[in-house]
Amino acid sequence: MVHNEPKQFAAVFVLRIAVDNDPRIVTRFETYLIDASTAEDAYQQAKELGLGFDDVYRNSDGDIVKIKSLGIHDLDLVEPNGDEYPRLVSSAQFVINDGAEPFGIVPDRDQLACFNQFGKRSDLPNLDQ
């Protein structure tokens, strides 16, 4: 019997977030680490995990926020000491169909979570509960 050693996989999920009374749609990529011995086991665990992401709540303005998991964007073995890209844990790729440059999805430093004490971003709809 072959015993597979546990490995870590990075599962990247795509979430669609819509706020009533706001025409913007937020696409969020969330990455979770999964311990598994095989890629198939990691995939099954990721599918199960993804089932729990859908949510509906009211934001601090009283508008309804709907979160829908669109599925697994990527699943890859984590090799933080890999030769090609040392310290790379996860990556995500997507295509913007209208050919627009994606500069708008890169926020200013003060909008980054570790510098934004209250987690509010002026470029996003109100997602606060």
What average pLDDT score do residues 91-119 get? 77
Per-residue pLDDT at 116 exceeds 70:
yes
Asked if the structure places residue 118 within a domain, the reply is no
Name beta bridge partners: 79: none
Q: Which residue has the tokens 């995990």?
A: 49
* Mean pLDDT, residues 46-66 taken together: 96
Residue 43: alpha-carbon gap to chain centroid: 16
When pLDDT is cut at 50, 70 and 90, the band that residue 119 belongs to is low
In a domain, 95, yes or no: yes
Given a cut of 80, whether residue 103 has pLDDT beyond it is no
Residue ranges making up the domain that contains 64: 7-111
120 located within any domain: no
Q: Does 92 map to a domain?
A: yes
Q: Do the domain assignments include residue 19?
A: yes
The letter for the amino acid at 94 is F
Ranked by mean pLDDT, the top range of 19-28, 45-54, 90-99, 117-126 is 45-54
Question: Which pLDDT does position 2 carry in this prediction?
Answer: 57
Beta carbons of 10 and 75 less than 8 angstroms apart: yes
Within a domain: 87 = yes
Task: List, in sequence order, every residue forming a beta bridge with 56; answer none if it has no partner.
Answer: 66
More confident residue, 83 or 115: 115
3-state helix, strand, coil in the chain (%, to 5): 15, 35, 50
Identify whether 127 is part of a domain.
no
- pLDDT-based confidence at residue 128 (cuts at 50, 70, 90): confident
pLDDT at 43: 97
Q: Is the pLDDT of residue 90 over 80?
A: no
